[in-house]
Structure 1
Amino acid sequence: MAQFTLSLLTAALALASAVQAQCGSGSPQATVTGSGNSFTATKGGSNVYSGSDYRAAIQAALDSISSGQRVAVMASGSIGANTITISSGKIFEGCGTINVGNKAGRGAIESTNTNDVQIPYLTMTGNPYFGLRFSGTKNLSLGKITMNLSGGLAIRFDRDLAANSNVNMDVINVTGAGSHAVETWNIDGLTINSVIAKDVGECGLLLQNTRNAHVKLVDGNNVAAGTGYATFRMANNNGQNANGDYKTNVYIDKVVSRGGGRGVFCVSQSGGVEIGNVDLANNGNNAILIENCYNVNIKSGKVNGGGEVRISARTEFPNTKDININLQVDGTTVRESPCADNSNWTLTGNGQRNIC
């Protein structure tokens, strides 16, 4: 009987969890409602904004809550070339569609020098400079983020500002960005379930000076066409540990890339990475390029057509070193030039090989 009661309790908790998992569900402390040119922000039954300015309504709702409290933006509208700012501890749910403009050097939504900010849901359209912009964050959580853009860079962690720690992302789905879908700088501790990028001008996921990372999936369709960028790119000392070594600390479960530019690209003294599986086809540039990187392990996968698989190096950095690649390569070539230090290939398929 006790076991049956426990099962009922477990089922009830699961149902409650599923209900809570819907955007705006339960009892958010503040809400934004309305449409057209009439919006209302409400906190605890009292209006904190009423008027025609969608951005002002959202900001008023955010400013009205305390750390640990939640805002649900139920209304859709446009904020123009402006910025919404989220401070520490606040939970922001964008349940409507937030259309944004381009404010030079700024994010349409920003959180900087903050702790414990959560964005469980967001739907964004428009052409931002940055859709989401972060720096100096700790325990940042991004949930189901959908950005159907007509230009701009979707999610950006700044290069020259404070570093970030313990960043978590669930499903990031970006179409139409002119630049990158997700670009990171200066993160220690990053987990991502998936980055899904389609018709994106530069990278799907670009990791820079980021360590202790685990990404389950990077999936790119027509990403980085006509450029040197890639569906998945690591650059600028990505994966280099604090002590300077490249012991494995970046784990990518799977990279899928169709068309576009490069599939996988590691460059500029990056490494310390294990990629579990790749599925690359018809990339318009190198399917894989590893250039001046150290301790790169591609454990399995297939390359079908497109640009060559290559190990390379430039003279301004130490030579490429400690590379292990296990691949089926068909319909394109495999080339190593110049020779890496300690390269290990396990190759099948009909691809022509020129390796050391």
Structure 2
Amino acid sequence: MRQSGNSYVWRINNVDQGTTTDLATAITNCIGTGNREVHILTGGTLSGTIFLRPGLTFYGHNNTFTSGHGGNGFHIEGSGPISMYDFTLNNYGGGMGIRTSRAGDLTFQNITVKGGGIGIRIDSHPSRPYEEGRWVSNVEVINCTFEDNGSHGLETYGVDGFYADGIVARNLGGCGVLLNKTINGTIGTVDAYRCSYGAGYAGLRLANSCSNVVIDMLYANECGRGFFVLSGSNNIQLKNCKITNCVDQWGTGRGIWLENTVNSRVEAGCCDSGVTVTGSGSYANVSTTCNGLEGTYQIRNRGTSLYLDGMGRTTNGADCGQWANTSHVNSQWEVISRDGYYQLRNVGSGLFIDGMGRTSNGSVAGQWANTTHVNSQWSIEVYSGDYVRIQNRGTGLFLDGMGYTTNGSVAGQWANTTHANAQWLLVPILKSASISAENVDVEVSEIAMFPNPVVSSLTIAIPGDYEQVAVQVFDISGKTVLSTVVSGGESELDLSMFTPGIYLVNISGDEWSVNQKIIKK
């Protein structure tokens, strides 16, 4: 569908079907009875709710739709599949941005909902999702942002099989993410700010018997509560968090509140807003102070200019290496508070830098799976300007670049020294960005990869006259599964034989690099 003057033109199978001055009518006519791919090439004001249909794939092409009619922006009650991508909804009418009931096999990606009530609500029944036997499944919500919603950003109720990542919530009346009766789910990152500040909701809340949910990272700042899991929920795992300045309606600091839950835990991170845990097998292993270092970084040596790198190694005791600047996940490290010290976890492998009990100058720093041992704990102290020194709690030695300048060199340890090889720069990685770029000009920033999710063939569109552009695809462990060279224009990658899951695509030229997550179905 496109705009021509003051009218909207809809076409089917590349044939114009009609025109109208009403955007909602044109979009509805494009959708038809469903089972089709729809491309909306213009934005504008929606006069009424857009009713979705089974089998619909909806591309918004980064346009903005404005809804002021009081109902939901987009709605379906019935079956899926439905996929929606790449648009902003200014939902000023007060209804929900996107509401689905009884529909499974859903994907929402790169969507921003501003204003209104709930941003996206996914449930198994329009009024009774809490009843036994009511479930929908296969739900994905990726790189979605919710701003100024009067209620929750993302809410689920009655979902079995759930994946979310890159969720950003800002200035909400309710939760950033609220999971009700949601089981067998995985969440990457939730970044919540000012969600229900001074009230009872949370940056991330699980209620009404959620179970078997794993969350990688929660950032919650100035929320009512940070992480709130209610009675009846079990087997909830939050791997890492940074929860700050959370205050509820009673003025109580309950940054983490696990309320009589079973086998629910917060494994690492920090919370300066109070911790309350009750329930069998539940705990919160967090620091009670957050000093600002928690986050994800590249770590560059001042002397060698190489970066710490996990090298894709996943075996306990494997050497920690160094590599020139790269956007690969093996060069990214999460800094996690632990007992007044820090652990450094590799994003690619999941292993932690470890002193290995070695106390000799020049000994190699290793990697090890999650442990509370002092060999995996490090102090990070500012030494000179923006540079820090990183000292192992167990060995007393400092992390050292050893003067090595060759890709793949080991990272070592050395006794107290002022040498540049013992100094490191923490280079922050944006925690909520789905695409990161360094020294990227306007043309490169317009690189497109589609469709996403992909079933068999991924198209990469590179504007301009670029030649010899490197493309690499990495699996979730950081292993390279495809490497090729393309030129400007459109190129296709055959991913048909790839195992379904999440992959990282890196496209790089001489002076730039772009990353994007994709999902292979």
Is TM > 0.5 for Structure 1 vs Structure 2? yes
Q: Residue 118 of structure 1: which of 76, 83, 97 is its match?
A: 83
Residue aligning to 1:273: 236
Distance, in Å, in 2 between the alignment partners of 1:258 and 1:196 is: 12
Superposed displacement of residue 102, structure 1: 4.8
Q: Residue 97 of structure 2: which of 131, 136, 140 is its match?
A: 131
Distance, in Å, in 2 between the alignment partners of 1:141 and 1:192 is: 10
Superposed displacement of residue 101, structure 1: 2.5
The structure that has the greater radius of gyration is 2
The answer on 1:72 being equivalent to 2:44 is no
Residue aligning to 1:8: none
Residue aligning to 2:155: 183
Letter in structure 2 aligned against 1:259: E
Letter in structure 2 aligned against 1:348: D
Instruction: Say which is worse superposed, 69-78 or 158-167, in terms of deviation.
Output: 158-167
Name the CA shift for 1:103/1:151 in 2 (closer, same or farther; >3 Å). closer
Residue aligning to 2:353: none
1:142-157 alignment, distance < 5 Å: 142-147=108-113, 149-157=114-122
Residue aligning to 2:16: 47
Asked if the contact 2:274–2:288 (Cα under 8 Å) also holds between the matched residues in 1, the reply is no
Q: What secondary structure, in the 3-state scheme, does the structure 2 residue paired with 1:180 have?
A: coil
Distance, in Å, in 2 between the alignment partners of 1:126 and 1:34 is: 25
Q: TM-score, normalised by structure 1?
A: 0.74
Distance, in Å, in 2 between the alignment partners of 1:347 and 1:79 is: 50
Superposed displacement of residue 75, structure 1: 1.3
Q: What secondary structure, in the 3-state scheme, does the structure 2 residue paired with 1:327 have?
A: coil
Q: Residue 300 of structure 1: which of 268, 272, 276 is its match?
A: 268
Distance, in Å, in 2 between the alignment partners of 1:129 and 1:268 is: 30
Residue aligning to 1:97: 64
Asked if the contact 1:267–1:291 (Cα under 8 Å) also holds between the matched residues in 2, the reply is yes
Whose strand proportion is higher, 1 or 2?
Answer: 1
Deviations 1:182-208 (A, max 9, x none): 010000000112211011111000000
Q: What secondary structure, in the 3-state scheme, does the structure 2 residue paired with 1:55 have?
A: helix
Residue aligning to 2:224: 261
Letter in structure 2 aligned against 1:153: I
Asked if the contact 1:48–1:61 (Cα under 8 Å) also holds between the matched residues in 2, the reply is no
Distance, in Å, in 2 between the alignment partners of 1:238 and 1:83 is: 31
Distance, in Å, in 2 between the alignment partners of 1:308 and 1:221 is: 17
Residue aligning to 1:323: 282
Letter in structure 1 aligned against 2:339: T
Residue aligning to 1:160: 128
Q: TM-score, normalised by structure 2?
A: 0.51
The answer on 1:309 being equivalent to 2:272 is no
Q: Residue 290 of structure 1: which of 249, 255, 258 is its match?
A: 258
Distance, in Å, in 2 between the alignment partners of 1:203 and 1:49 is: 42
Asked if the contact 1:137–1:163 (Cα under 8 Å) also holds between the matched residues in 2, the reply is no
**Which structure has the higher relative contact order (CA within 8 Å, separation 6+)?**
1
Residue aligning to 1:57: 26
Superposed displacement of residue 325, structure 1: 1.9
Unaligned runs of 5+ residues in structure 1 are 1-30, 240-248, 313-319, 332-345, 351-356
Asked if the contact 2:191–2:220 (Cα under 8 Å) also holds between the matched residues in 1, the reply is yes
CA RMSD of aligned residues (A): 2.1
Whose helix proportion is higher, 1 or 2?
Answer: 1
Deviations 1:79-128 (A, max 9, x none): 13x21111111111122211112545xx3101332222111222111224
Q: Residue 106 of structure 2: which of 104, 115, 140 is its match?
A: 140
Distance, in Å, in 2 between the alignment partners of 1:83 and 1:160 is: 22
Q: What secondary structure, in the 3-state scheme, does the structure 2 residue paired with 1:260 have?
A: coil
Residue aligning to 2:513: none
Asked if the contact 2:275–2:284 (Cα under 8 Å) also holds between the matched residues in 1, the reply is no
User: Once superposed, which parts of structure 1, at least 4 consecutive aligned residues long, lie more than 6 Å away?
Assistant: none
Deviations 1:191-234 (A, max 9, x none): 11221101111100000000000000111011111210000000
Instruction: Say which is worse superposed, 107-116 or 201-210, in terms of deviation.
Output: 107-116
Letter in structure 1 aligned against 2:262: Y
The answer on 1:172 being equivalent to 2:144 is yes
Asked if the contact 1:273–1:295 (Cα under 8 Å) also holds between the matched residues in 2, the reply is yes
1:197-276 alignment, distance < 5 Å: 197-239=169-211, 249-276=212-239
